[in-house]
Amino acid sequence: MNARFEGSFLGDASRIAADAVLECKICWYGYDPAAGDDARQVPPGTPFTALPDDWRCPQCDGARDQFMVVDAGSAEPAPTIAEQARLLEAGFREVFQNKMRDTPFVNRSLSVEAVGFRAWGERALGVLVAPWFMNMVVLPAPGEDWSRFAAGEKRVFAFPSGDYEFIANARGHVGPYFACSLFSPMSDFSSQLQATETARAVLAALFDDKARDVGDEAGTIRDLRVSELERQRQAEAARNAAPTRRALITGGLAGATGDAGT
Ligand code: FE
């Protein structure tokens, strides 16, 4: 949390941690919950949000809503990418245990594993391997609210190798995310290592702009491209018969099925 905001009057009171220090905008008096406020007999340990309603700046009598956060205190920090990836794994291990384990759709030599999750701009990107699918997954940036996307809603993300259609989903503690199907089912994989190596190869190919020179089937997606130069390159590429883009980034491995990327 690095935004400064005024008191509790802009709807942000819930974001003020119990130990956050706030400062009077007029005279720079600081209210530190650890110290309280002797002048008003506010005991140490009183959060800013628990001060009496008529509390004012003890130094200049300034209004309480003129105070700004200067030290956010222990407000919950945004989860790290590694933590987000672990939550994703935990969520899908639960699905495996509760729903998929005894179905014919699973490859029993595989397990749920988040592979190669890294920062992608302010968001996070990686591949989720599971016994019944392999998906590219994009996680929201800290503070980015994707709860407005209904499950199944589509969104295009642009990468150096091309633009890919992702589908909104959400799962328990993971919250909303976007996924692009790479493989489903996973019957062609013989080991977890083979699956995770494929996942890493996909991520590498995703950022390989040479893949863009190969035609793809995503004509409507192309319209979203911002650069005229890129549009020209794509128009030229589309004239050449070539494998689909997804077949390209998945190395043409058999088993790349489904309609993601179309
Ligand atoms: Fe003041």
Residue 217 has pLDDT above 80, yes or no: no
- The rounded Å distance from CA 63 to ligand 1 centre is 8
Residue 168 has pLDDT above 80, yes or no: yes
- The rounded Å distance from CA 64 to ligand 1 centre is 9
Residues 115-131: tens digit of each pLDDT: 999 999 989 999 999 99
- The rounded Å distance from CA 240 to ligand 1 centre is 70
- The rounded Å distance from CA 12 to ligand 1 centre is 21
Q: Kindly compute the dihedral angle of the four CA atoms of residues 84, 86, 87, 90, in this order, to the nearest 10 degrees.
A: 160
- The rounded Å distance from CA 59 to ligand 1 centre is 5
Nearest-CA neighbor of 114 among 146, 92, 141?
Answer: 92
Tell me how far apart the alpha carbons of residues 217 and 101 are, in angstroms, rounded to a whole number: 35
Q: In the prediction, which pLDDT does 13 show?
A: 63
Residue 28 has pLDDT above 70, yes or no: yes
- The rounded Å distance from CA 62 to ligand 1 centre is 5
- The rounded Å distance from CA 72 to ligand 1 centre is 19
What average pLDDT does range 54-79 have in this prediction?
84
CA distances from 245 to 51, 100, 233, 251 (A): 59, 30, 15, 10
On whether the CB atoms of residues 124 and 81 are closer than 8 A, the answer is yes
Q: In the prediction, which pLDDT does 130 show?
A: 97
Residue 204 has pLDDT above 50, yes or no: yes
- The rounded Å distance from CA 15 to ligand 1 centre is 22
Q: In the prediction, which pLDDT does 76 show?
A: 64
Residue 254 has pLDDT above 60, yes or no: no
Q: In the prediction, which pLDDT does 12 show?
A: 53
What would the DSSP string read from start to end of 138-156?
Answer: EEPPTT---TTSPTT-EEE
Q: Which residue has the tokens 């945004």?
A: 78
- The rounded Å distance from CA 227 to ligand 1 centre is 52
- The rounded Å distance from CA 36 to ligand 1 centre is 15
What average pLDDT does range 74-99 have in this prediction?
86
Enter the tokens of residue 53.
């309603």
Residue 260 has pLDDT above 80, yes or no: no
